[in-house]
Structure 1
Amino acid sequence: MILVLRALGVGDLATAVPALRGLRAAFPDRTLALAVPAWLIPLVELIGGIDQIVPTDGLASREWGIDPPHWAVNLHGQGPQSHRLLLGARPQRLVAFACAPADHHDGPAWDADEHEVHRWCRLLAWYDIPADPTDLGLRRPSPHRVPVGVTIVHPGAKVMGKRWAPGRFATVARELTRLGHRVVVTGSTAERDLAERVARQAGLPGDRVLAGRGDLAELAALVAHGRLVVSADTGVAHLATAYETPSVVLFGPVSPRRWGPPPDRPWHRTLWSEELTGRVGTDQRADRRADWQWVRPALAAIDIDQVLVAADEADRAGQARGAVTTK
């Protein structure tokens, strides 16, 4: 067995797909087991090649419950906690970044500025396992449970510092609707109030709020068969990359050089104000105070017109490829 740990979120799992495919190709006859939170299982099923899922819920306080693996691969972080967790499975070999506190020296050095996709491919290359960083695609789910050809506005993000102002998302949604887009607003169950607020300010009917409805597989289907995604730097943006759905991604505290879509795809647009990234505080100009209570200056510097221009460019590039459904 090859045991792989990636117990994080949607974007984290999506950026690990090339490494997972590399492991699958390197060990075609061994069971490939992926340790992830149970809520990510619908997304794991869209990757393909995973033989066994090991839920990580509560794992820190219990045994792994599996036979000792041939290799344990840490695609979770640089350690030492994740290294020690995998060593608890008693693997023959740990594949991971070097970490002195975990007494693991057989691995490359961590590079904090490296793109997340390339990071894990480089880790495997150290152990003579090739992985293709462009192999980001996911299986395309059936659209039978979701509307097809919609433009997805996703105002939420688990990290509050990555959120753009709700009022600005609402203005973008309203203007895209005026331009002929069928806009829906998505988010997690916890973000439903935020999504309803954005939809209400945008003048959208209540049935356009899809936040908290359906599971992760339905969100993937919505993106896979969508026209355009406008979001913060969060999981839904990585689904747009996986399905090559045109997107506009707003970056704040983290550079798109570390988490953005491949730069050679003109149907993806990233917006980022690098010179303001390191500043602390909020910018409340031209917006209500409540809208900006969590927003960092790098995000505040991105204005509505920039987003609309980027959305038009991404939409046109997607239609030129013939990959966008608008009806």
Structure 2
Amino acid sequence: MSGRVLVARLDSVGDVLLAGPCVRAVAEGSEHVTLLAGPRGRAAAQLLPGVDEVIEWCAPWIDPDPPELTAESVEALTKQLRDLRLDAALILTSFHQSPLPLAVVLRMAGVPWIGGISEDYPGSLLDLRHRVAGDPPEAQRALSLARAAGYELPEGDRGLPAVRGPLPDTRELTGPPGYVVVHAAASVPARQPTAERTRAFVRALAEAGHRVVITGSAGERELTAFVADGRATDLGGATDLRELAAVLASARAVVAPNTGPAHLAAAVGTPVVSLFAPVVPSARWAPYGVATILLGDQEAPCKDTRARRCPVEGHPCLAIEATEVVDAVATLGNAHDDRRVAGPTGGVS
């Protein structure tokens, strides 16, 4: 068994949630797990089973609004890492990111063993240079690094995203379970339908007899009020991430673009109607481990561009008809999976 291990995932909520199986494998084979997260992913890191401690740092080579890289910020992180007395570290990155900048800092902090997925020559920066063939789902890709480092999931753990319980009771916000959640926004504008189209989804779901709950952040209140249109319960800005997990866990289905709450829905076992813009591959980034129906033109001109704003006039890849959403929700209505919330001993139940 390893002693004190750091797992780094410096991106956003969805990226951190998909790191969950890797983290649980590391936790099974170590005494203490620290997760190094960015400011956009910290709340998700605190939800992961197996994490003993979370520290935050905004990486200038990863964050979409990068801060200036200064000697003072790197020195502060290096000291914080040195004080953790780490025995090993695993650096999780997306396929287009490099683990090597963080590996430099970890070496400066005296971490004796470091592993990462890297196509670039790492020299002495990595002890484990792991390579991944093909295009697996991101959760599997991250878990493969843990396994290459000698960590395995505990017996009975299926390697799916999960959250730490107990979750709060949110019935005062939503009413009884069985509603449909529509999450209106995405962290990247190119990945969300137009507000008018989302409002049409909500209208059609309400007319089909569904109770609809709209979710979104405090900064998205104007959007959530618009799409709710008096037909749905508007929870824009009303929940933190743990409360949002509870709202999603009690839903019959979740309708969402490719963004963190779609992965959070999967992590609590709720089926997802995924409004998926093909700017990134669905094979990697679709909700993982739950019944999912993918809507959107996966062969649209924006395919694989990683565009943050739609490069095609009219946003045709997400020109989804409201009837498609209603039909998808009906198909998924009886597919609610077991709720994947960590029990009192930390195991995933």
Q: For the superposition of Structure 1 and Structure 2, which TM-score range results when normalised by the shorter chain?
A: 0.7 to 0.9
| Equivalent residue, structure 2, for 1:268 | 292
Q: Describe the superposition over 1:32-79 as per-residue Cα deviations: whole angstroms up to 9, x where unpaired.
A: 111124565543343222222212258546234223410011023432
Contact 1:153 1:230 survives alignment (8 Å): yes
Gap change, CA 1:39 and 1:158, over 3 Å in 2: closer
> Once the two structures are superposed, what CA deviation does each residue of 1:79-127 show, in whole Å capped at 9, x if it has no partner?
2323323333321100112354643463122558332111111112222
Aligned partner of 1:97 among 97, 117, 140: 117
CA distance in 2, matches of 1:99, 1:83: 14
Structure with higher strand content: 2
CA drift of 1:185 comes to 1.4
* 2:55 matches 1:54: yes
Name 2:63's counterpart in structure 1: none
SS where residue 81 of structure 1 aligns? helix
- Give the superposition deviation at 1:322: 9.2
The structure that is helix-richer by fraction is 1
Do 2:265 and 2:271's aligned partners in 1 also have CA atoms closer than 8 Å? yes
Equivalent pair of 1:83/1:102 in contact (CA under 8 Å) = no
2:150 corresponds to = 128
Read off the aligned partner of 1:261 and give its amino acid letter.
Answer: P
Partners of 1:20 and 1:124 in 2: how far apart? Answer: 8
Structure 2 portions without partners, runs of 5+: 60-72, 304-309, 340-349
CA displacement at 1:133 relative to structure 2: 6.1
Deviates more, 1:163-172 or 1:60-69: 60-69
Structure 1 runs not aligned, ≥5 long = 285-294
Match of 1:299 among 307, 311, 318: 318
Question: Residue 88 of structure 2 corresponds to which residue in structure 1?
Answer: 71
Taking only the aligned residue pairs, the percentage that are identical comes to: 27
Q: Deviations over 1:212-263 (max 9, x none)?
A: 2231111111111222210101111111111111220111112221112347
**Residue in 1 that maps onto 2:343:** none
* Among candidates 8, 20, 23, match of residue 23 of structure 2: 20
For 2:273, the equivalent position in structure 1 comes to: 248
The 5 A counterparts of 1:1-327 are 1-27=4-30, 30-37=31-38, 40-57=41-58, 60=74, 62-64=76-78, 65=80, 66-77=83-94, 78-98=98-118, 100=120, 102-103=122-123, 104=125, 106-109=128-131, 113-131=135-153, 134-138=159-163, 139-144=165-170, 146-147=173-174, 148-149=176-177, 150-200=179-229, 203-204=230-231, 208-252=233-277, 253-262=279-288, 265=290, 267-278=291-302, 281-284=311-314, 295=315, 297-300=316-319, 302-318=320-336
Provide the aligned C-alpha RMSD in A. Answer: 2.6
Q: Secondary structure at the match of 2:55?
A: strand
**Which letter does structure 2 place at the counterpart of 1:134?**
G
Distance in 1, matches of 2:162 and 2:120, equals 35
TM-score with structure 1 setting the length? 0.82
Partner deviation per Cα, 1:158-208 (whole Å, 9 max, x = no partner): 1111011211111111111122222121112222222122123xx336xx2
After TM superposition, the score normalised by the length of structure 2 is 0.77
